[in-house]
Amino acid sequence: MEPTFAIKELCKYFGGLKAVDKVNIKIKKGMIYGIIGPNGAGKSTLFNVLTGHLSATSGDIYFENKKITNLPSYEITRLGIARTFQNIKLFKYMNVLDNVKIGFHTQTKTNFLDAIFHTSTYNHDERLTIKKGLEILERVGLADFTYDYALNLSYGIQRKLEIARALATNPTVLLLDEPTAGMNPVETNQIIKFIRQLNQEGLTIIIIEHDMKVIMNLCSRISVLNEGKKICEGIPREVQTDKDVIEAYLGKSNLLKFNK
Amino acid sequence: MFYLQQIINGIAQGSIYALTAIGYAIILGIVNIPSFVHGDVMMIGAFAGYYSVLLFPDNLLLVFIIVFAATWVLGIIVDMVCYRRFRNSPRQVMLICTVGFSIFLKSSSQVIFGTRQKLIPNILGNNFFALGEIRITFVQIFIVSVVIFTVFLLQLLLYRTKIGLSVRAVSMHKSASALVGINVNQAMRFGNCLGCALGGIAGILLGVYYNAVHPLMGGNAAMKAFIAVIFGGINIPGAALGGLLLGIFENMGVSFFGSGYRDIVGYVILIIVLLIKPSGLLGRKESEIRI
Amino acid sequence: MSIFNYLKNQIRGKSHLTLGFLLVTLLLFPLLVKSQFIIRVVINILIYIMLASSMNIINGFGGMFSIGHAGYYCVGAYTAAILSTRFGWSFWILLPLSGAMAGIVSMLLLGFPALRLRGLYFAMVTLGFSEVIRLIVLNWITLTRGPMGIPGIPFPTFFGNSIRYNWQFYYIILGIVVLMLFIIQRVLNSRIGRAWISIREDETAASAMGVEVFRYKLMNLFFATFWAGVAGCIYAFFARYISADSFTLDEGFSILAMVIVGGQGSFIGPILGPFLLLTLTEIFRGIAQYRLIIFGAAILIVMHLRPGGIAGGRMHSIKLSNIQEIKQKLSVRQDK
Interatomic CA distance for residues C273 and C296, integer angstroms: 13
pLDDT digits (tens, 9 = 90+) for B131-163: 777 778 888 888 888 888 888 888 888 888 888
Task: Provide CATH code, domain C35-335.
Answer: 1.10.3470
Strands B134-137 and B128-131: antiparallel
The reported pLDDT for the residue numbered C329 is: 47
Q: What are phi and psi of A61, to 5 degrees?
A: -125, 130
Q: What is the pLDDT of residue C319?
A: 32
**Is C209 within 8 Å of A165 when comparing Cβ atoms?**
yes
What is the reported pLDDT for C13? 56
Asked if the Cβ–Cβ distance from B106 to C132 is below 8 Å, we say no
**Chain A nearest C-alpha distance from C194 (Å):** 7
The answer to whether B237 and B21 are in contact (CB under 8 A) is no
CA distances from C15 to B146, C28, C246, C303, C310 (A): 65, 20, 38, 28, 18
Query: Structural domain boundaries of chain C?
Result: 35-335
Residue C311 C-alpha, separation from nearest chain B C-alpha, in angstroms: 17
Q: Say whether B291 and C214 touch across the interface (CB within 8 A).
A: yes
Residues of B in contact with C135 (CB under 8 A): 260-261, 263-264
Class of residue C287 by CB neighbours under 10 A (exposed 0-12, middle 13-18, buried 19+)? exposed
pLDDT value of position C315: 34
Which domain does B20 fall in, by range? 2-276
Residue B290: inside a domain, yes or no? no
DSSP tally for chain C: helices H, then strands E: 16, 2
Closest partner residue to A127 (CB to CB) among C187, C208, C333 is C333
* B108/C293 Cβ within 8 A: yes
**Residue B272 C-alpha from the chain's centroid:** 22
Q: pLDDT value at position C130?
A: 92
Residue B196 reports pLDDT greater than 80: yes
Q: What letter does residue A119 receive in the DSSP assignment?
A: -
In chain C, which residues have their Cβ closer than 8 Å to the Cβ of A147?
320-323
Report the gap between the CA of A245 and the closest CA in chain C (Å).
32
Q: How close B264 gets to chain C, by Cα (Å)? A: 6
Pick the residue with more confidence: B130 or A81?
A: A81
What ipTM was predicted for this assembly?
0.87
Residue B161 lies in a domain: yes
Contact B99 C67 (CB under 8 A): yes
C139 touches chain B (CB under 8 A): yes
B17-25 mean pLDDT: 90
Q: Which of A54, A57, A151 to mutate to test the interface with B (most CBs of B within 10 A)?
A: A54
CB B213 within 8 Å of CB B56: no
Question: Average per-residue pLDDT in chain A?
Answer: 86
Distance CA C25, CA C84 (A): 33
Nearest CA in chain B to C208: B291
Task: Provide CATH code, domain A89-170.
Answer: 3.40.50.300
Q: What is the pLDDT of residues A15-42, one digit of tens each?
A: 788 888 899 999 988 899 999 888 877 8
pLDDT at C322: 42
For chain B, say whether C146 makes contact (Cβ under 8 Å).
Answer: no
Low-confidence ranges of chain C (pLDDT < 50): 1, 315-336
pLDDT tens, A220-240? 999 998 888 888 888 888 888
Q: Where are the alpha helices (DSSP H) in B114-235?
A: 138-160, 162-172, 174-179, 184-210, 217-232
Residue B282, domain member (yes or no)? no
How confident is the prediction for chain B on average, in pLDDT? 84
Number of residues written out for chain C: 336
Instruction: Choose among C253, C258, C261: nearest CA to C311.
Output: C261
Mean pLDDT within B22-39: 81
- Work out the pLDDT band at B46, boundaries 50, 70, 90: very high
Mean pLDDT for A199-218 is 88
Best residue in C264, C321, C324, C327 for a mutation probing chain A (most A CBs within 10 Å):
C321
Interchain CB distance below 8 Å, A110 and C192: yes
| Pairs of residues, one from chain A and one from chain B, whose beta carbons lie less than 8 Å apart | 15
Interface mutation target, options C55, C120, C216, chain B, most CBs of B under 10 Å? C120
> Considering all CA atoms of chain C, what is the largest pairwise distance in Å, rounded to the nearest integer?
64
Are B274 and C295 in contact (CB < 8 Å)? no
How close is the nearest chain C Cα to the Cα of B289, in Å?
A: 9
Instruction: Calculate mean pLDDT across residues A126-152.
Output: 88
For residue B137, what is the domain's CATH number?
Answer: 1.10.3470
- Better-scored residue on pLDDT, C243 or B117: C243
Tell me, what's the pLDDT at B142? Answer: 85
In DSSP terms, A7 is beta-bridged to: A25, A61
DSSP sequence for A169-226: T--SEEEEESTTTT--HHHHHHHHHHHHHHHHTT-EEEEE-S-HHHHHHH-SEEEEEE
Looking at this protein, which amino acid is placed at residue A224?
A: V
Q: Which residues does residue A221 pair with via DSSP β-bridges, in sequence order?
A: A33
Question: Looking at chain A, which residue has its C-alpha nearest residue C213?
Answer: A74
Mean pLDDT of A122-130: 91
CA-based nearest distance C109→chain A, Å = 23
How far CA B25 is from CA of A85, A175, B162, B237, C285, in Å, comes to 34, 41, 20, 10, 40
Asked whether residue B49 is assigned to any structural domain, the reply reads yes
The model's pLDDT over C200-210, given as tens digits with 9 standing for 90+, comes to 888 889 999 99
Neighbours, chain A (3 or more CB pairs < 8 A): B, C
Check whether A185 has a pLDDT greater than 60: yes
Q: Band the pLDDT of B68: cuts 50, 70, 90.
A: very high
Mutate to test the interface with B, among A17, A53, A70, A77 (most CBs of B within 10 A): A53
Tell me, yes or no, if C135 comes closer than 8 A to chain B by beta carbon. Answer: yes
CB contact under 8 A, A103 and C314: no
Pair type for strands A221-226 and A58-63: unpaired
What does the domain layout of chain A look like in residue ranges?
1-80+171-260, 89-170
C-alpha dist (Å) from residue A70 to A67, A76, B194: 9, 9, 44
CB pairs under 8 A between B and C: 115
Which are the contacts of B250, defined by CB distance < 8 A and separation ≥ 6? B10, B13, B14, B262, B265, B266
Q: Using CB atoms, which chains have 3+ pairs under 8 A with B?
A: A, C
State which fold the A1-80+171-260 domain adopts: Rossmann fold (3.40.50)
- Hey, of C116, C180, C185, C191, which one would you mutate to test binding to chain A, going by the most A CBs within 10 A of its CB? C191
Entry pTM: 0.85
Most distant pair of Cα atoms in chain B: their distance: 60
- Chain A CA closest to residue C322: A147
Q: Is C290 in Cβ contact with B111 (below 8 Å)?
A: yes
Task: Give domain status of residue B281, yes or no.
Answer: no
